Amino acid sequence: MAKVELTVSANSVRAGLLSVVLVASLFLAGGPYAGPAYACSCSEIPDVAEGFRDSDAIFTGEMVRGGLEDPAPEDGTMVGGIEFRVGESWKGVSGESAVVYGQDTVYYGELEEGKMYTGNSCAYPFEKGGRYLVYASRYEDGFRVEGCDRTTSLASADEDLRALGPPADRLAETGGPAPLSVGGILLTAGMLLIFTVCVVGLLLKRARL
Residue 184: per-residue pLDDT:
55
Q: Are 93 and 180 in contact (CB under 8 A)?
A: no
Find all residues with CB under 8 Å of 199, minimum gap 6, and list them.
none
How do strand 97-102 and strand 80-91 relate by DSSP bridges? Answer: antiparallel
Which is nearest to 108 in space by CA: 52, 165, 65? 65
Residue 166: per-residue pLDDT:
94
Q: Are 147 and 122 in contact (CB under 8 A)?
A: yes
CB count within 10 Å of CB 38 equals 14
Q: Residue 9: exposed, middle, or buried by beta-carbon count in 10 A (0-12, 13-18, 19+)?
A: middle
Residue 118: per-residue pLDDT:
62
Contacts 24+ apart (CB under 8 A), 36-41: 36/125, 37/104, 37/119, 37/121, 37/123, 37/125, 38/121, 38/122, 38/123, 38/124, 38/125, 39/2, 39/121, 40/1, 40/121, 40/122, 40/147, 40/148
Residue 114: per-residue pLDDT:
65
What tens digit of pLDDT does each residue of 53-110 get? 999 999 999 999 988 888 877 777 778 899 999 999 999 998 999 999 987 777 777 7
| Burial readout 135-165 (b: 16 or more C-beta within 10 A, e: otherwise) | bbeebeebbbbbbebbbbebeebeebbeebe
> What are the residue ranges in the chain where pLDDT is below 50?
1-38, 170-181
